[in-house]
Amino acid sequence: MHLIVGLGNPGPKYRGNRHNIGFMAVDEIVRQHGFSPWRKRFQGETSEGLMGADKVLILKPQTYMNESGRSVGEAMRFFDIDPSRVIVLYDELDLDPGKVRVRLGGGAAGHNGIRSMTAHCGPHFVRVRMGIGHPGHRELVHAHVLSDFARADRGWLEPLLTAVAGNLPLLVRGEEGSFQNKVHLALNPAPEKPSRKAEN
């Protein structure tokens, strides 16, 4: 089994926040792949389904961002899931809006949700960092992540969520490079080559 985690804060107050892009991504995964209705367990909300032959559990921790690891650790222990089969989707200040980077393991880089994950689950899980951009000054970061996406962001946000969800089976199969390339191409399609005029 694979465990796919979206990080965010629960409740309508936070639903549209930049910090909740992880919740938005797993909502789209559940929608696109026809997973089961959400139900409450593991201090979170879960949905189950298949990606190819792989059984997948989706989890949205409801413990608030700073305690995300409590919920994830509980699900991992219940199903005896190895950290390398855990995929976590979350916001990244230090990536431009719409950019995606994937890696196995690493540090928290100031992200409290990832810090909690590491404390409860160890560092060796797959991270899908989705860029939300940096406001430019450190003192503006808190307000930036806890404010809603602007209307102008929809031009990249919706295609990003669609591409991440649609290509997630590649990540489940361990094809990190292919996943990253497919998402990039979905948001930055290659220009069409001009057709050659028919020769007389």
Query: Tens digit of pLDDT for each residue in 33-77?
Result: 999 999 999 999 999 999 989 999 999 999 999 999 999 999 999
Amino acid at 121: C
**pLDDT tens per residue across span 149-168:** 999 999 999 999 999 999 99
Note the pTM of the prediction, 2 decimals: 0.92
Q: CA 106 to CA 128: how far, in whole Å? A: 12
Whether 176 is covered by a domain: the verdict is yes
* Domain range for 60: 2-187
Read off the DSSP letter of residue 108: -
Flag whether 193 is in a domain. no
The verdict on whether 19 is a catalytic residue reads yes
Do the beta carbons of residue 44 and residue 172 sit within 8 Å? no
In DSSP terms, 47 is beta-bridged to 58
Q: Is residue 198 part of a domain?
A: no
In-domain check, residue 147: yes
102, part of any domain: yes
Overall number of domains in the chain: 1
Tell me the per-residue pLDDT of 92-128, one tens digit each, with 9 for 90 and over: 999 999 999 999 988 877 788 999 999 999 999 999 9
Does some domain include residue 149? yes
Phi, psi of 86 (to 5 degrees): -105, 125
Q: What's the CATH code of the domain at 76?
A: 3.40.50.1470
Residues 6+ apart with CB under 8 A from 96: 131, 133
